[in-house]
Amino acid sequence: MPSASRLPRSGRIDVLVNSAGGTMWTRLDEILDLSIFERLMRLNYLGSVYPTFHALPHLQQSRGRIVAVASMAGLIGVPTRTGYAAAKHAVAGFCDSLRVELLDSGVTVTLICPDFVVSEIHKRALGPDGRPLGDNPMANSKIMTAEQCAGLMIPAIERRERLLVTSGRGRLARWLKLLAPGAIDRMGRTGDSAFLQTRRSRPQSEARAAGRARPAADASPDDVETTPPAVPRSCRGGQRYWRRPP
């Protein structure tokens, strides 16, 4: 985050790239810890808002560029990423609104929406209990590398483009959402089914050790140990307190 003490060393700010991000990989009805949503919103959304706020006066002086790395999940719905998609949609809305505010300032806003990219974000995706999954379900996928993504980003930033969607599939999905939204829903469900099947086929002892056990098909309700989700009770002095329902 820019500060007055650091600016003299660099001289000025010409480009601000907001790229902090984290994700989840679980259905809403499987979640055990609702704080996942608050954590993802603070990281993905406020992680772009705060740096932009503090850098804006300096960017106005240099007529610079603001860049936010969102995701295709910020343009369309993606199953098992409800919290992540909501935060990235917030980033997109923030950028669209800020762009209008800065029309006469010389400062431009570029929104980057990558498709899947090989990175540690998948390995650190949060499971139902709020803990990182620890394995990368995208490890063997033929998807874009971080270097390839950066290679597409740099020209778009230089040209001060409004929006960059890094894949043909993503550009198609963006238009299909407007013309045939039902088709996008079916595509999203199909595309995510392979991962869900892989996760659910893990040995139950392994899943339980990771805090993500699913009850056996023939188990009775009395045989299944469950932990109810945490729910917010109140906010006092900026601190959130949590309780678990009985």
- To 5 degrees, how large is the angle CA 199–CA 26–CA 128? 95
The owner of tokens 């949060």 is 126
Take residue 20 and report the two structure tokens written for it: 């902090």
Q: 175 phi and psi, to 5 degrees?
A: -75, -35
24 — phi, psi (to 5°)? -135, 165
- Tokens representing 129? 């209990």
Check: CB of residue 76 under 8 Å from CB of residue 98. Answer: no
Phi, psi of 120 (to 5 degrees): -75, -10
* Sequence-distant (≥ 6) Cβ neighbours of residue 117 within 8 angstroms: 143, 144, 145, 146, 149
d(Cα 69, Cα 97) in Å, to the nearest integer?
Answer: 16
Q: Give catalytic residues, as residue numbers.
A: 84
Tell me whether strands 163-165 and 108-113 are parallel, antiparallel or unpaired. parallel
Tell me the chain's radius of gyration from C-alpha atoms. 20
